[in-house]
A = this chain, B = another copy of it.
Amino acid sequence: MGEFELIRRFFAAASCAQAGGEVALGIGDDCALLTLPAGEQLAVSTDTLVAGVHFPDPCDPSLLAQRALGVTASDLAAMGATAIGFTLALTLPQAGADWLAAFAGGLNQAAERHGLRLIGGDTTRGPLSLTLTVFGRVPAGAALRRSGARPGDLLCVGGSLGDAAAALPLVLGQQQLPAALAEPLLARYWQPQPQLALGQALRRLASAALDISDGLLADAGHIAASSGVALCIEQARVPLSPALQLLPREQVLRGALSGGDDYRLLFTLPPEHLAELQAQWPELAVLGRVEVGCGEVRLLAEDGRELPQPVGGYQHFGQDRD
């Protein structure tokens, strides 16, 4: 059996993990075919992960697959979309059966968890990289956008921040921590959990949303710019997970403010919807508020004083990540 045939067999499980639904035709012809329910739109997003730029090489292939699918599916969450499926373009220098089995296992596990079915792809030889394109559906006109934030709205985040940034020195082998401390951090890095259900709930409540991939301050800037407002973030309200409480506070805070890879939803919310949402999503936190402005993001101390923002101090994995 050729190795590309081997790859197809390994990936067959993910292509069948979710039955029927919007996938009228999956892998095996020139195109996949998707059917949308009446009144729904298709949401599409593409992400590429390159070895040595977006992940260390070598790394655990199962974790790589889980990270790649989680990262890409997070864009569906950010639009409030319901997951349908994905294509995988996998380029790899050679394909050992062990590597492929582990990769396919991780991919299938993440696909099932996120409700995504593998509908097509391409496998090519070359330097290791992955491009995933994800598909979701959303009622026409109801997708969450970055551009709807209005002065008076609250600025909220879907959960704690900074874990993935704290994991990065561990991922890079620059730091060692006891397993009990390291494991939850590494899980946040390698197995990001796109907040798909929260995104769907936000469709009729939030005024703007995105997922935090580049860091809280940078991504808040995207909402502020798209909406033509200012966002004020109270530093003391940035939620940190218990896993971070044993690490140096300055490092933790910098990671939570400027570190990427958390894949929490950041959104703006008319205040009257807060109680309803918190009842169902107790882990969400109010970070601050939307004010009149032109794309500014302000970081505030508890006394309302504006704080300097960490600039360029945070090490992404790879200098030129984009």
Contact B119 A44 (CB under 8 A): yes
> With A25-B143, A129-B129, A133-B46 given, is the CB distance from A34 to B30 under 8 Å?
no
User: Please, what's the 1-or-0 string for A120-138, where 1 marks a CB less than 8 Å from any CB in chain B?
Assistant: 1111111101010101101
Contact A89 B322 (CB under 8 A): no
Copies of this chain in its oligomeric complex: 2
Closest B residue, CB atoms, query A5:
B322
Closest B residue, CB atoms, query A95:
B320
Contact A44 B126 (CB under 8 A): no
How distant is A283 from chain B, measured CB to nearest CB, in Å?
A: 21
Which chain B residues lie closer than 8 Å to A49 at the CB level? 124
> With A44-B87, A138-B33 given, is the CB distance from A54 to B124 under 8 Å?
yes
> With A24-B41, A89-B48, A133-B87 given, is the CB distance from A78 to B122 under 8 Å?
no
Which chain B residues lie closer than 8 Å to A25 at the CB level? 143, 145
Contact A131 B126 (CB under 8 A): no
Q: How far is the CA of A195 from the CA of B306 in the complex (A)?
A: 60
How distant is A86 from chain B, measured CB to nearest CB, in Å?
A: 10
Contact A318 B125 (CB under 8 A): yes
A91 partner, pick from B121, B124, B129, beta carbons under 8 A: B129
User: Please, what's the 1-or-0 string for A20-54, where 1 marks a CB less than 8 Å from any CB in chain B?
Assistant: 00001100111111111010011111111111111
How distant is A149 from chain B, measured CB to nearest CB, in Å?
A: 13
